[in-house]
Amino acid sequence: MKLYELTISQAAALLSERRLTSRELTQAVLERIDAVEDRISAFITLNADLAMAQADSADKTISEGRGTALTGIPLAIKDIICTQGIRTTCASRILENFIPPYDATVVQKLKAAGAVLIGKLNMDEFAMGSTTENSAFKTTHNPWDLTRIPGGSSGGSAAAVAADMCLGSLGSDTGGSIRQPASHCGVVGMKPTYGRVSRFGLVAFASSLDQIGPLAKDTRDCALLMNAISGHDPQDSTSVPEPVPDFTGFLNGDLKGLVAGIPKEYHASSGLDPEVMQAVNRAVQTLKDLGVRCVDVSLPHTEYAVAAYYVIAPCEASSNLARYDGVKYGFRDKTAGTLIDMYRNTRSKGFGTEVQRRILLGTYSLSAGYYDAYYGKASQVRSLIMDDFKKVFQSCDLLLSPVAPTPAFAIGDHMDDPLTMYLSDVFTLSANLAGIPGMSVPCGFSSKGLPIGLQLVGPHFSEGILLKTAYHFEQATDFHQKKAIL
């Protein structure tokens, strides 16, 4: 096995045993990036010199008998998470040269753990998209088939892990933006409970929905990353003072007695690809063989989730993105003769098509005379969806479903069809509306060799149950061990 193919837990063991140095590991990862980045296009900013300096510091820490499971481990960060002194663009022209004066809390935590941060990853602009085609700078390619999308908006984060360009990464999930690319790229991805991980330093898209989470090569690595980034943060008013367990402790034992719900609305979706359905059904059977009792459940308001989400998220985006006006920071159009023209030109030139579309949708929905009919009604539907989950979790421990309706499709296939794009989030966005955790674990491949993910969703702060279920599924299968050939 090549060094860059190691999992976090494997590398951590070698580092602690002094059989490997972080400098050697980081150099191997940087060489891997140099070899495949021109085909994948996962990175917006690469910090090779800084990464090597961090690796040397990590080696010194390890030699002194100190360190954590992440000390010396090369990780990468979605470019919507602030990094002090390092460009944070949100894949947008309007922030193309923005350098934050502070680190996001999750970045502070990773640095404190001794991780090596090798760069910032590509994404859909301001996290608005499901394919990473909406980046202002480049389109990321799926390592399993370079003609196909990696998913989005954390497409760079998923593709980099799948292509062994880092040992793990952080993404953000507003409507499925960690789980869906994880599914398409054949890696593990988790959206934690809203409030479990600090959002301080996460550039806001939709503040009541956004959540930072890990993408990793397997479930144990996902648990290690969750250990590092979770916890209450007084700088984030939405952060919950919930104790953080050792998530790796949940990987022990067995699954006997666990009850999993199968939502009939998800499995009866008209847009569900038969190969995805077959892979998920086989995964469900595997979990049954491991002792999980599966029961049919209903989430009756699922049919309204997409409509509610695509009112709430654009409304919050309209509000959050109002700050990009060319005055305080970021891109400014210098050709305008009046202040109003400067505002208009700055935002027209600085924002891409999809971002402009969502700002317009949100601004319209929040405008006088329409607020109650759109945002108010969508918020009521959100409450009904939350109630649906509360009821089903009275009789089961978690839910099992597809992550995405289809495997990864070809780049360019749906760029002129926003509705089809929006429907690709049909299985994931309800968890964001309800604020509950969800994750994707590889569960099969299509006839064309494209990865398919199984989605696990649980009640608030049930990340441990999801990780345990995913881990035991991994132990019974080998999907997570398959590698894209580049």
Residue 220's alpha-carbon distances to 51, 78, 290, in angstroms, are 24, 21, 18
pLDDT of residue 388: 98
Indicate if the pLDDT at residue 268 is higher than 90: no
pLDDT of residue 363: 97
Which DSSP helix (H) or strand (E) runs through 336?
Answer: none
DSSP 202: B
Give the tens place of pLDDT for each residue, 5-24: 999 999 999 999 999 999 99
Give the tens place of pLDDT for each residue, 363-382: 999 999 999 999 999 999 99
Q: How far apart are CA 102 and CA 222, in angstroms?
A: 26
70 or 266, higher pLDDT: 70
At 259, list the tokens.
Answer: 């009850």
Q: How far apart are CA 347 and CA 360, in angstroms?
A: 12
Residues with active-site annotation: 78, 153, 177
CB 205 within 8 A of CB 126: yes
Indicate if the pLDDT at residue 420 is higher than 90: no
Query: Cβ–Cβ contacts within 10 Å for residue 268, how many?
Result: 10
DSSP 395: T
Give the tens place of pLDDT for each residue, 270-319: 789 999 999 999 999 999 999 999 999 999 999 999 999 999 999 999 99
Q: How confident is the model at residue 338 (pLDDT cuts 50, 70, 90)?
A: very high
For the residues 429-438, what does the mean pLDDT come to?
Answer: 98
Which amino acid is present at 323?
R
Nearest residue to 3 (alpha-carbon basis) of 21, 23, 29: 29
Q: How far apart are CA 184 and CA 404, in angstroms?
A: 8
Strands 116-121 and 74-78: parallel
Query: Cβ–Cβ contacts within 10 Å for residue 257, how many?
Result: 10
Location of structure tokens 């999750």: 106
At 19, list the tokens.
Answer: 């059989």
- Mean per-residue pLDDT over the chain, rounded: 97
At 27, list the tokens.
Answer: 């150099």
Complete DSSP assignment for 288-316 = HHTT-EEEEE--TTGGGHHHHHHHHHHHH
Q: In the chain, pLDDT over 90 holds for what percent of residues?
A: 95
CB 186 within 8 A of CB 215: no
Indicate if the pLDDT at residue 422 is higher than 90: no
- Kindly list the strands in the beta sheet with 212-216, ordered across the sheet, starting from the edge strand earlier in the chain: 43-46, 116-121, 74-78, 168-172, 212-216, 188-191, 438-445, 451-457, 398-402, 259-263, 293-297
At 155, list the tokens.
Answer: 């497409």
For the residues 62-88, what does the mean pLDDT come to?
Answer: 97
Nearest residue to 176 (alpha-carbon basis) of 483, 451, 423: 423
Give the tens place of pLDDT for each residue, 170-192: 999 999 999 999 999 999 999 99
Indicate if the pLDDT at residue 408 is higher than 90: yes
Nearest residue to 144 (alpha-carbon basis) of 200, 187, 195: 187
Give the tens place of pLDDT for each residue, 209-251: 999 999 999 999 999 999 999 999 999 999 999 999 999 999 9
Q: How far apart are CA 470 and CA 455, in angstroms?
A: 9
- How close are the terminal C-alpha atoms of the chain, in Å? 15
Complete DSSP assignment for 140-164 = --BTTBTTB---SSSHHHHHHHHTT
Q: How confident is the model at residue 421 (pLDDT cuts 50, 70, 90)?
A: confident
Q: ∠ CA 104-183-296 to the nearest 5 degrees?
A: 110
DSSP 102: S
Helix (H, G, I), strand (E, B) or coil at 431: helix
Q: How confident is the model at residue 208 (pLDDT cuts 50, 70, 90)?
A: very high
For the residues 446-472, what does the mean pLDDT come to?
Answer: 98
Domains of the chain: 3-255 (3.90.1300.10), 303-379 (no CATH)
Query: Cβ–Cβ contacts within 10 Å for residue 348, how many?
Result: 10
Strands of 385-431, DSSP E: 398-402
Q: How far apart are CA 466 and CA 384, in angstroms?
A: 24
